[in-house]
Amino acid sequence: MDAQNKEVAALIEKIAGLQAAIAALPSLSPSPEVDRLFTDLVTACVPPSSVDVTKLSPEHQRMREALIRLCSAAEGKLEAHYADLLATFDNPLDHLGRFPYYSNYVNLSRLEYELLARHVPGIAPARVAFVGSGPLPFSSFVLAAHHLPDAHFDNYDLCGAANERARKLFGASEDGVGARMKFHTADVADLTQELGAYDVVFLAALVGMAAEEKAKVIAHLGAHMVEGASLVVRSAHGARGFLYPIVDPEDIRRGGFEVLAVHHPEGEVINSVIVARKAVDAHADNEVAALIEKIAGLQAAIAELPSLSPSPEVDRLFTALVTACVPPSPVDVTKLSPEHQRMREALIRLCSAAEGKLEAHYADLLATFDNPLDHLGRFPYYSNYVNLSRLEYELLARHVPGIAPARVAFVGSGPLPFSSFVLAAHHLPDAQFDNYDLCGAANERTRKLFGASEDGVGARMKFHTADVADLTQELGAYDVVFLAALVGMAAEEKAKVIAHLGAHMVEGASLVVRSAHGARGFLYPIVDPEDIRRGRFEVLAVHHPEGEVINSVIVARKVVDAKLSGPQNGDAHARGAVPLVSPPCSFSTKMEAGALEKSEELAAKELAF
């Protein structure tokens, strides 16, 4: 064995011994012994070394991965400890230097900015995301305070407790840097349209610790960041790869990015830095243009129809529309031209009107039966409501464990309140449901369906003709409020509705909002999670289904006033008036040209739930 190999073997042996000692510690919270072992580890790993961690034996690779996770856990405990300490000061941001390694963050953030400015000349981002910000978001602070003074920062972390600590530090600063910092509890894998809003995304070193995890995160960013946006990724090299994951630039290229720079510092800055830019996809641009042209043609044809009541021609055109909009697509409806944006808004209103007529038709049909609730399966797209309501309940149960609401409101219930029925009958058997709709005729039809059932589900359903903007004290009585997709069709209208709910719902109550993503945004309004946060809610989940369930689902919870800070507090109140629109569109991806005729065949078979 030559001298170099002996040196590498000795280093690996030393690091393995330190890993074993750290793993044996009773706690990774700050203490003299924890500090001593991690100081020894950093001292061993930081100097230049010829070690190549990609060529470690399987045993040593497992040791390295375990060590990185220990480093992550210890770093989290150290930052949480100092976050709590800093929070005891009246002006925490004036005391950040008390953290023993604050200068490291200052130097790393300066390096990242200098590389970004050098390789993306003239960059002046308006919105920046930092993924993996932790309880002490030093990097975001340094970037915002010293390098990007006009940018607004959205900081994302999986840990709600970490974000609570970060908010305490920045909440005392209602102007300046604090006013430009927001903190969100979210998994980057659940962010889609949000990512398209950022000019720059910073990816922390410990987001995705195994190589496969990191590659998956980068691919997800590449799928949803806008073309030309910049990505700054923290990596490591040499023996520093025992402290942090090493990112392969090829994984960044495969994720749809052009790698602009890879920098390995030699001094006290431990992390390597990779700067990349989302590549322009000419094929995707052509695909999007063709899709928009097709949808615009269908919108024009639908607008010329003499009636939107059920008919073979109405069915044919909406079948073609749904077939075009449902498959995954790179289209971003928030970036449409003004002309196409007006077309989209008109199309959503046509969808609403057509679905209203379809539901009214079937409500009248069902009312002819002695027991209408036994025949809901006659509606051709009833299974869509079943699947969507199941999804909403599962997301609610997952993100609000143990939830057992006594009173539920459904805003925008329409003439066929399938969602309320499915939720009441199969998922929330003890809840009382209040259904609200602007349309008195819709509620009259609904009462005929449920009036025949004086016990069971029917006894737990009430129907009210009201505008949600007129509900105040009533909203404080509900444990959960469901907001239909077409309540507030323009973005400003939707934001106003959500702000009104946030002003009157009780703290801790849950809100379930239907939205859309991709080309499905031509069928439904897209809800910006930021509007939900500004409406005094904590966003718990954003889910975009890929199958026949067309609507996206956002689950949120009304926060206590103490959690509100800066621009999250009610910005949406300044927006315009709110119409309540019913009912929700719920087209099926399985529509066929003869769907109307087929629905009569289904009716004859009396499909059951």
Tens of pLDDT, residue by residue over 458-517, are 889 999 999 999 999 999 999 999 999 999 888 889 999 999 999 999 999 999 999 998
Instruction: Give the three-state DSSP class for 451.
Output: helix
CB 391 within 8 A of CB 554: no
Shared-domain flag, residues 185 and 275: yes
Domain count, the chain: 3
Amino acid at 565: S
Q: Give pLDDT, residue 597.
A: 38
**CA torsion angle 63 69 73 79 (round to 10):** 110
Residue 318, both tokens: 């909406």
End-to-end CA distance of the chain: 72
Would you say residue 287 lies in a domain? Answer: no
Q: Give pLDDT, residue 79.
A: 95
Shared-domain flag, residues 272 and 301: no
Q: Give pLDDT, residue 581.
A: 29
CA distance 270 to 191: 29
DSSP 475-486: GGG-SEEEE-TT
Residue 180, both tokens: 């430009």
Would you say residue 443 lies in a domain? Answer: yes
Burial of 508-540, coded b for 16+ CB within 10 Å and e otherwise, reads ebbbbbbbbbbbbbbbbbbbbbbbbbbbbbbbb
Q: Give pLDDT, residue 452.
A: 60
Please report the sign of the dihedral spanned by the C-alpha atoms of residue 313, residue 317, residue 318, residue 322.
positive
Shared-domain flag, residues 301 and 219: no
Residue 558, beta-bridge partner list:
537
Would you say residue 183 lies in a domain? Answer: yes
Shared-domain flag, residues 330 and 271: no
Q: Of 257, 282, 307, which residue is a domain's last?
A: 282
Q: Give pLDDT, residue 4.
A: 67
Q: Of 53, 86, 119, which residue is a domain's last?
A: 86
CB atoms within 10 A of CB 383: 18
The Cα angle at residue 57 between residues 52 and 60, in degrees rounded to 5: 85
CA distance 70 to 91: 32
CA distance 195 to 206: 19
Tens of pLDDT, residue by residue over 259-302, are 999 999 988 899 999 999 998 766 667 888 999 999 999 999 99
Shared-domain flag, residues 323 and 343: yes
CA distance 568 to 538: 10
Could you say which DSSP state residue 87 is in?
T
CB within 8 Å of 500: residues ≥ 6 apart: 468, 469, 471, 578
User: DSSP alpha helices (H): ranges in 454-514?
Assistant: 491-504
Tokens 């749809």, located at residue: 256
Phi, psi for 289 (deg, rounded to 5): -60, -40
Would you say residue 260 lies in a domain? Answer: yes
Instruction: Give the three-state DSSP class for 513.
Output: strand
- What string of H, E and C letters represents the secondary structure of 148-184? CCCCEEEEEECCHHHHHHHHHHHHCCCCCCHHHEEEE
Shared-domain flag, residues 114 and 158: yes
Rg of the Cα trace of the chain? 27
Shared-domain flag, residues 127 and 269: yes
Shared-domain flag, residues 269 and 330: no
Shared-domain flag, residues 33 and 158: no
CATH of the domain at 596: 3.40.50.150
CB 256 within 8 A of CB 215: no
CB 362 within 8 A of CB 379: yes
Would you say residue 361 lies in a domain? Answer: yes
Task: Name the strand (E) or helix (H) holding 515.
Answer: strand 510-515
Residue 3, both tokens: 């001298």
CA distance 512 to 508: 13
Amino acid at 159: C
Tokens 């349309």, located at residue: 439
Instruction: Give the three-state DSSP class for 472.
Output: coil
Give the chain's residues under pLDDT 70.
1-4, 172-175, 281-284, 452-455, 561-609
Shared-domain flag, residues 278 and 297: no
Q: Give pLDDT, residue 221.
A: 96
CA distance 534 to 495: 9
Would you say residue 93 lies in a domain? Answer: no
Nearest to 386 by CA among 122, 609, 156: 609
User: DSSP alpha helices (H): ranges in 423-576?
Assistant: 440-451, 491-504, 529-534
Could you say which DSSP state residue 569 is in?
B
CA distance 373 to 337: 45
CA distance 352 to 486: 7
Range of the domain at 549: 292-609
Would you say residue 163 lies in a domain? Answer: yes
Nearest to 219 by CA among 206, 233, 236, 205: 233
Instruction: Give the three-state DSSP class for 3.
Output: helix
CB 466 within 8 A of CB 495: no
Q: Give pLDDT, residue 548.
A: 80
Q: Give pLDDT, residue 117.
A: 93
CA distance 110 to 588: 51
Shared-domain flag, residues 111 and 39: no
CA distance 209 to 158: 14
Shared-domain flag, residues 278 and 296: no
Would you say residue 92 lies in a domain? Answer: no
Q: Of 261, 282, 303, which residue is a domain's last?
A: 282
